[in-house]
Amino acid sequence: MASGETNRDETIREQALGWAVRTNDPGFTEWAAFTAWLEAEPAHAEAYDAVCAAVLDGADLLRSAGPANDGSPAEETRLTPAAATRRRWLGGALAASAALVLGIGFWQRERPAPFVIVTAPGETRTVKLENGTSIALSGGTRIELDHNDARRARLERGEALFTVRHDPKAPFQVAVGEDRLVDIGTVFDVRHDRHGMSVAVSEGAVQFNPEAEDVRISPGQILARAAGSNRYVLSPIAMDRIGEWREGRLTFEGASLDQVAAELTRTTGIPFSVRGAKNAGTVSGSVLIDPIRKDPGVLGSLLGLNVTPRGQGWVIGTP
């Protein structure tokens, strides 16, 4: 390989490591820049996925190795060819960044830390767990899983569709802020953002806060709570709307402009903002995501909004 290509690859890898560290910071806000970097060329996304996989491999290695310098024989660690390949180019970069990675909680020696998966706005990803459960992540989502307990998850922000293989002896649990969801043989969609949280069930059932409200959410029902409110509302929802983002569709019912802008930004990867008062009027309607990615201006005819470009994003407002 020519030296120029080698230098270019190393630069991309260093950038990927930097983004991996920054996107796992709860205070991270540079989603537009991160998305632009990912989409600039395929090598960027490949390097980002590789560095995240290698960091998680490193966490596994630390756990299997045990505490260092304790006088006990070191446990042998076997690497698969794929893990060794992912790690080969990371050596120097990971060593140089170890202090920073440790600081944000990727690795711990005494107790294995939960690991975090983050999707950029406009990105979707499916995570399959060892117990047969799968989690589909929408754009702009951050979820925390536990190496020690594959039956627990915490949705920190965004939206995820859980398809759970039920085990009555060890029910799957999802933490959403201060709330707790317990599955009862279930497919359910959870959203959590600055506007509030919601849980919609399409199969089985979910028990909401068993030790407090203890509300059962059945198929075709959605439980929702606005941010800053203690009042939860249980209402019916069309089955085909549950997890509809996986099919490339969004439906709004009496949503504020701010809610519409936030949802569009998260699912399309295109920054949307609001002109004027964020709660001026409401929006109802159903739209396909791909046409909006190609031409955000179509929102005008689809939802009856004023839509204008501004910088790298778009501004929506009432007519």
Q: Domain for residue 313, yes or no?
A: yes
Task: Please check whether residues 82 and 193 belong to one and the same domain.
Answer: no
Q: Tokens 């490591």 correspond to what residue?
A: 17
Q: Domain for residue 195, yes or no?
A: yes
Task: Please check whether residues 201 and 257 belong to one and the same domain.
Answer: no
- The maximal CA–CA distance of the chain, rounded, in angstroms, is 73
Q: Could you report the per-residue pLDDT of 110-168, keeping only the tens digit for each?
A: 445 578 999 999 999 999 987 789 999 999 999 999 878 888 999 999 999 999 988 88
- At residue 25, the pLDDT reads 64
Beta bridge partners of 126: 136
Q: Domain for residue 243, yes or no?
A: no
Task: Please check whether residues 223 and 165 belong to one and the same domain.
Answer: yes
Q: Domain for residue 285, yes or no?
A: yes
User: Are the CB atoms for 195 and 177 separated by under 8 Å?
Assistant: no
On whether the pTM is more than 0.85, the answer is no
Task: Please check whether residues 38 and 120 belong to one and the same domain.
Answer: no
Quickly state the pLDDT bin for 38 (edges 50, 70, 90): confident
Domain end call among 238, 268, 287:
238
Rounded Cα–Cα distance for residues 254 and 81 (Å): 53
Task: Please check whether residues 101 and 120 belong to one and the same domain.
Answer: no
Q: Could you report the per-residue pLDDT of 59-101, keeping only the tens digit for each?
A: 454 444 444 444 433 333 333 333 343 344 344 444 444 444 4
Task: Please check whether residues 98 and 162 belong to one and the same domain.
Answer: no
22: pLDDT strictly greater than 50: yes
What mean pLDDT is reported for the chain? 80
Task: Please check whether residues 72 and 120 belong to one and the same domain.
Answer: no
Domain end call among 112, 144, 162:
112
Q: Domain for residue 205, yes or no?
A: yes
Rounded Cα–Cα distance for residues 126 and 209 (Å): 26
Rounded Cα–Cα distance for residues 61 and 59 (Å): 5
Task: Please check whether residues 57 and 4 belong to one and the same domain.
Answer: yes
| Chain mean position to CA 34 | 14
- At residue 251, the pLDDT reads 96
- CATH number, domain at 131? 2.60.120.1440
User: How many domains does the structure of the chain reveal?
Assistant: 3
Q: Domain for residue 102, yes or no?
A: yes
What count of other Cβ atoms lies within 10 Å of the Cβ of residue 159? 24
Task: Please check whether residues 33 and 101 belong to one and the same domain.
Answer: yes
Query: In degrees to the nearest 10, what's the CA dihedral of 124, 125, 126, 127?
Result: -140
Q: How many residues does the chain have?
A: 319
**Helix, strand, or coil (residue 137):** strand
Task: Please check whether residues 63 and 95 belong to one and the same domain.
Answer: yes
Domain end call among 112, 128, 145:
112
Task: Please check whether residues 219 and 257 belong to one and the same domain.
Answer: no
Residue range 251-262: mean pLDDT, rounded:
94
Domain around 223 = 114-238
According to DSSP H, which parts of 24-130 are helical? 31-40, 42-65, 81-88, 91-103
What count of other Cβ atoms lies within 10 Å of the Cβ of residue 268? 21
